[in-house]
Amino acid sequence: MPKKFQRKIENFVCERCGYEVSGNGYTNHCPKCLWSKHVDINPGDRASKCKGLMEPIGLEMKNGEYVLIHKCVKCGHVKKNKKTEKDDMEEILKTLRRELLSCPPKAGKYPRK
């Protein structure tokens, strides 16, 4: 069965930092701290029973746009969310730094001193 997107226009208070977020129907994470909540199975359905907070753990580029990678701290589910123009760029850079620091270089890839 194909995934179906259900647009939900909802405002919410971020459970991580307390920021009041104005939703636009596509909002799925806090633009201030970048944390999300595990509420959906398919985008917008609010069918997940987990309800755990989702930490921004990484970043990737897709079609020239940043995509945040979130991991649920309760159940481990991983999902990707597009960066929005309201997202705090400093927080995005912090996420990228954490991701880079958690991945040690592969053997033989860098010259030894």
Q: Which residues contact 83 (CB under 8 A, 6 or more apart)?
A: 65, 66, 67, 68, 92
H-assigned helices in the chain: 89-102
- Count of the separate structural domains present in the chain: 1
**pLDDT per residue over 59-107, tens digit each?**
999 999 999 999 999 999 999 999 999 999 999 999 888 888 887 666 5
Three-state DSSP string of the chain: CCCCCCCCCCCEECCCCCCEECCCCCCCECCCCCCEECCCCCCCCCCCCCCCEEEEEEEEEECCEEEEEEEECCCCCEEEEECCCCCCHHHHHHHHHHHHHHCCCCCCCCCCC
**pLDDT per residue over 9-63, tens digit each?**
899 999 999 999 999 988 999 999 999 999 999 888 899 999 999 999 999 999 9
The answer to whether residue 40 sits within a structural domain is yes
pLDDT of 52: 98
pLDDT of 102: 80
Whole-model pTM over 0.75: yes
Q: In terms of pLDDT, which residue wins out, 7 or 109?
A: 7
The answer to whether residue 3 sits within a structural domain is no
The answer to whether residue 47 sits within a structural domain is yes
CB count, 10 Å around CB of 52?
18
The answer to whether residue 112 sits within a structural domain is no
The answer to whether residue 110 sits within a structural domain is no
The answer to whether residue 4 sits within a structural domain is no
Structural domain range at position 23: 12-101
pLDDT of 8: 81
The answer to whether residue 84 sits within a structural domain is yes
The answer to whether residue 108 sits within a structural domain is no
